[in-house]
Amino acid sequence: MMILTTTLPAPLHYAVHSTWLTLRNFAFVLFAVGMPLVLYIVFSQTFAAGSGPDAQLASAMIMVSMAGYGALGAAMSGGAQLAMERRSGWFRQLSVTTLVPRDFLLAKAAVIMVLVLPSLLLVFGAGFLIGGVRMPLEVWLTSLVLMWLALIPMAILGIALGLWVKAEAVGGVTTLVLLVLAMLGGLWLPVEMMPPAAQTLAHALPSYWLAELGRWPMLPQMAFPWTGVAVLIGWSVGLTVLGALGFRRAAASSKR
């Protein structure tokens, strides 16, 4: 029998093992990776069929939206996992190790940042292989890196939800948040097709800027969305405060 023991620092050791266990989880792979992949293929074949530059651009736009949607789902499922672990008492069990609770949450956030990668990479891969998207390598890479960075507030959102929402409700709440962010942020339908009020709202959502940052390298005439960077930083700060409050509350009531 092979026994894998590592000498990594505790938070890193936790992050590595936790990531591996989640990637092995069938439900996670199905919903956070499989579903956006299938949706991308269906949408791109339906709305962006053909081989002209217009079709190719449309296919690329759908690719960014679906990759973002999948990554958002992965971030939410990370939060749901935290709520379940709090409820089952696994959080407490981890608290009687060298892993301090703050590092545990940082490790959890790091895990989420890794778990969003498969949906980004696979949907982008499908864009190339099935959707017929052809772009210079640096455009692919810039788009991926920008989207990955734009997911930081969504990872923090997952953690904050996991700290505030009860395990019984967390599945429903994270699904709702995912759908609202995806729909109002224009991941399902372009924001331009929405009424003006909804468009204003979209510009305040992290999910909208997630897709905008992903599209920016593909659209040469588009200015870099600095507003989006500011909105994303704002969400990150706000959600970190919310998460910290949730953590204090959880610790004080011993409901870790």
Partner 1 sequence: MVHLTSSIATSLRPSPAGAAIELTGLRKSFGLVRAVDGLDLSIAPGEIVAVLGPNGAGKSTTTELITGLVQPDAGSAQVFGLPPRTAIERGLVGVMLQAGALLHEATVRDVLRLMHGLHAHPLPLEEVIERADLRSFWKTRTEKLSGGQAQRLRYALALMSDPQLLILDEPTVGMDVEIRRAFWASMRDFIADGRTVVFATHYLDEADAEADRIVVLARGRVIADGTPAAIKTRVADRTITLADHGASLADLAALPAVISAERAGSRLLLRTTDSDTTLRGLISEHPAAAEIEVVSASLEDAFLTLTHDQPEEL
Closer CB to partner 1, residue 162 or residue 225? 162
Residues 119 and 73 sit within 8 Å (Cβ to Cβ): yes
Spatial separation of the C-alpha atoms in residues 67 and 69, rounded to whole Å: 5
Q: In angstroms, give the least distance from the CB of 173 to partner 1.
A: 19
Residues 252 and 87 sit within 8 Å (Cβ to Cβ): no
Helix (H, G, I), strand (E, B) or coil at 131: coil
Closer CB to partner 1, residue 85 or residue 212? 85
Task: Decide if residue 13 touches partner 1 (CB under 8 A).
Answer: yes
Q: Which of residues 99-138 bind partner 1 (CB under 8 A)?
A: 99-100
Spatial separation of the C-alpha atoms in residues 19 and 114, rounded to whole Å: 7
The interface mask with partner 1, positions 24-43, x = CB under 8 A, is -x------------------
The interface mask with partner 1, positions 78-97, x = CB under 8 A, is ------xx--xxxxxxxxxx
Amino acid at 203: H
Q: In angstroms, give the least distance from the CB of 18 to partner 1.
A: 7
E-strand ranges in the chain read none
Residues 231 and 147 sit within 8 Å (Cβ to Cβ): no
Going by the DSSP 8-state scheme, the letter that residue 116 receives in this structure is T
Q: Which of 51, 98, 193, 195 binds partner 1 (CB under 8 A)?
A: 98
**Which residues of this chain interact with partner 1, rule CB under 8 A?**
1, 3-8, 10, 13-14, 17-18, 21, 25, 84-85, 88-100, 253-254, 256
